Amino acid sequence: MKPQIICHMMAPVDGKVDNSRWTAPDKEYNADEITAQYHTIGQRLATDAWLFGTRTVKEFFPERFEGCTYHVAYPDQLRTFVGDCGSRRQMIALVPDGDVRFTDNRLRGDNIIVVLGEHVSADYLEFLEDMQISYVFAGKDGTDIGKAMETLYNDFGIRRVSLQGGGITNGSFFQVGLVSELSIVVSPQLDGRQGAPSIIDHRGETADELSRQSLRLINVERLEAGCVWLHYQVRQM
């Protein structure tokens, strides 16, 4: 069994996700109020974990792990570690290469669970255990996210995950058919850049799995501060 994955994103009208280049909101709208709409909807989705991709994780923990990286973990070390999980929700961090030096075992008050590749160093596993940071494995290179989701379901009791990655991370979940809902809070802003990251980006020449998925509208809701909430069910065809 795997948890339900709800891809929950905020984007301007043209669907770009790098908010550093969004236009300023109209003078009738307050930027903090716009952001608050996203968080309010996130609470309504009632998930028990939220997930960031590697790039976003490094925005919060930019320091690189500099331990001994050539000593690859032995096979008997490649097992789930359950650290501090006392928070009401969990924060899932995709760090397949084991190269992020966490300075806390919580982010925004929620305990961190790291998703790793089996090629990480023994030193990195020891570092996470010393920090009381839980970890699970996603196959040899850290890309078997289906396996990781099964472990999170079985060993941590996680049933609903809010996927908040960049376009590549979101696209990887869609590409393997793991996303069950798509939630987009549309902000009254624009980006307009050609080639800028979008809500879902797929690496590769084809998107075969995406072509076998469809969207069924669950709800449209007008929010405060000029925002609109679009909520879809993702169906496998």
Report whether 119 contacts 140 (CB < 8 A). yes
Question: Is residue 195 pLDDT above 80, yes or no?
Answer: no
> For position 110, what pLDDT does the model report?
98
- At residue 206 the predicted structure's pLDDT band, cuts being 50, 70 and 90, is low
Q: So where are the chain's domains?
A: 1-48+159-237, 51-157
- At residue 68 the predicted structure's pLDDT band, cuts being 50, 70 and 90, is low
> For position 211, what pLDDT does the model report?
77
73-120 pLDDT per residue, tens: 878 889 999 999 999 999 999 999 999 999 999 999 999 999 999 999
CATH homologous superfamily, domain 1-48+159-237: Dihydrofolate Reductase, subunit A (3.40.430.10)
Question: Is residue 235 pLDDT above 80, yes or no?
Answer: yes
Structure tokens at 83: 């650290």
> For position 29, what pLDDT does the model report?
94
Q: How far apart (Å, rounded) are the C-alpha atoms in residues 185 and 95?
A: 27
154-166 pLDDT per residue, tens: 999 999 999 999 8
Q: Is 219 helix (H, G, I), strand (E, B) or coil?
A: strand
What mean pLDDT comes out for the span 169-184?
A: 95
pTM recorded for the entire structure: 0.92
Question: Is residue 129 pLDDT above 90, yes or no?
Answer: yes
φ/ψ of residue 231, rounded to 5:
-130, 120
CA nearest to 147, candidates 176, 113, 112, 179? 176
Higher pLDDT, residue 166 or 222: 222
